Amino acid sequence: MPIYPDKVNRIARKASHTGKLDRPDAQATAVSFECGSFVRFEIAESEGTIRLAYRTNGCGFLIAAADVLAEYLTGTALSELHGLADEELTMLVESRIGLTYPSEREQCLAVVLEGVHAAFADLRENRVAAGSSNAAIICTCFSVSEEAIEKCIADHSPKTIEEVTAVCRAGGGCGSCRMLIGEMLDAPHML
């Protein structure tokens, strides 16, 4: 008799995104203090598209959640992520494995979500550090400075945040900078 439900068992046995990436741009580890398992995600980004890999000592439920999310996110453009909301990611995992996580296994999914968020936070921090100049970075997902956005607005006269994004990518990732870009668009400009 299997320990895990059939679909969880199948995903865990055929996990396809385990291992290490050759040159990760970001990495993070999350730990469940409830059971002592960990998951370590690595992200490689190339031309705005990401790849994920993970390692874990976790159970089948943890492996299934990590593999489903790595599969879903790999090949996705950073501009399509829009914040990675826990509710959406939970619904995705649960729909792919065909069940709601049992209450005694919710920490397995929680540690995976924590690890994914931490890896993307590390990617943003690394981008900011790589572009470290004295210019204020407004869009940390794409390391776009305030100066670059102001130049975009002056040179291209965009009317919407989406038009700014189309020109310089600012606002095309997690979305946390969109309010600032909107304020910059609304500010009076010197001619």
Q: What is the predicted pLDDT for the residue at 1?
A: 54
Domain count, the chain: 2
Q: What is the mean pLDDT of the chain?
A: 89
Structural domain containing residue 175: 133-186
Give the separation between CA 50 and CA 127, rounded to whole angstroms: 14
Average pLDDT over residues 11-25: 94
Domain shared by 86 and 56, yes or no: yes
Using one digit for the tens of pLDDT, what is the confidence trace for 48-90?
789 999 999 999 999 999 999 999 999 998 878 877 889 999 9
**20 falls within a domain:** yes
pLDDT: is 90 or 173 the higher one? Answer: 90
Q: What is the predicted pLDDT for the residue at 189?
A: 61
- Asked if 176 and 82 touch (Cβ cutoff 8 Å), the reply is no
**75 falls within a domain:** yes
Main-chain phi, psi angles of 26, to 5 degrees = -160, 155
Burial label for 29, CB within 10 Å (0-12, 13-18, 19+), is middle
Using one digit for the tens of pLDDT, what is the confidence trace for 105-132?
999 999 999 999 999 989 888 877 766 5
Domain shared by 38 and 51, yes or no: yes
Using one digit for the tens of pLDDT, what is the confidence trace for 2-11?
789 999 999 9
Give the separation between CA 70 and CA 52, rounded to whole angstroms: 5
Q: How far apart are the first and last CA of the chain?
A: 75
Give the separation between CA 176 and CA 181, rounded to whole angstroms: 10
Q: Which of 25-29, 141-145, 146-150, 162-166 has the lowest mean pLDDT?
A: 141-145
Neighbours of 75 (CB within 10 A): 10
Give the pLDDT band of residue 190 (cuts 50, 70, 90): very low
Average pLDDT over residues 147-169: 91
Domain shared by 107 and 173, yes or no: no
Percent of the chain with pLDDT over 90: 65
Average pLDDT over residues 23-44: 95
**191 falls within a domain:** no
Question: What torsion do the CA atoms of 104, 41, 139, 148 make, to the nearest 10 degrees?
Answer: -170
Domain shared by 108 and 28, yes or no: yes
Domain shared by 112 and 181, yes or no: no
DSSP state of 144: E
Q: What is the predicted pLDDT for the residue at 191?
A: 43
Question: Six-digit token pair at 171?
Answer: 């606002």
